[in-house]
Amino acid sequence: MGQKLFFIDFEFSMPDTNLIAQGFYPEIIEAGIVVVEEKEVVHTFSSYVAPAAFPKLTERCKRFLKITQKQVDEGLPFAELIHLLAKLNGTDEHTIITWGNMDMKVLRRNCEEENLSFPLKGRFIDLSMEYKNFFGDRNQTGLWKAVQEYGKEGIGRHHRALDDALTTYHIYNLVEKDKTYMKKSKPPTIGDRVDFSKLLNRMA
């Protein structure tokens, strides 16, 4: 089995003042996964996930993510999501790509809280940092702003997990294409930069 690229996006629950006082931590409430092998999408997955520790969504969360309480109540149990990720990963090490570092941080925390083994292994890439370093930006850029800076549009709707995972894959391809171009492009020589005929005419 060849190495695969996993593009993963999670949406998380959000606290209000009361929940913060109760020791709130964010839980995954929607998962989007895109699996790529040899530059072809071979699998996609999308599901709401039922939060366990703080099952009732805050009004802020529902408003921001446009997710309803009914959708998460009917979502996958978190343990089933972990089983699915472990099955997709298999025994090989793959490359896991996210936009930002929060997806893996929250996944690890949720696994710890549920006493479940972390299901992914391999190389982890925060594409937002690669984008920042490649373009020399001072600050990290949001996913959809980054793709718009390429003159493109995101796929589907922002803050839908699968749409964001597909948009991450989209911008990954754009960045990789630019990296390839930069490697192939030779730096110009001084002869490329200076028109010697004009220079000689001035000296004549």
pLDDT digits (tens, 9 = 90+) for 94-113: 999 999 999 999 999 999 99
Asked if 50 and 77 touch (Cβ cutoff 8 Å), the reply is yes
Q: Which residue has the tokens 């530059």?
A: 39
Does the structure show a pLDDT above 50 at 196?
Answer: no
CATH of domain 5-203: 3.30.420.10
Among 66, 68, 60, 71, which Cα is nearest to 16's? 60
- Interatomic CA distance for residues 32 and 75, integer angstroms: 13
- Give the residue numbers annotated as catalytic, written as ranges: 11, 159
Residue predicted with more confidence, 47 or 178: 47
Q: What is the pLDDT of residues 52-81, one digit of tens each?
A: 999 999 999 999 999 999 999 999 999 999
Report the predicted TM-score, pTM, of the whole model to 2 decimal places: 0.85
Per-residue b or e along 31-55, where b marks 16 or more CB atoms closer than 10 Å to that residue's CB: bbbbbbeeeeeeeebbbbbbbebbe
What average pLDDT does this structure show over 15-24?
Answer: 86
Q: What is the pLDDT of residues 77-94, one digit of tens each?
A: 999 999 999 999 999 999
Residue predicted with more confidence, 151 or 192: 151
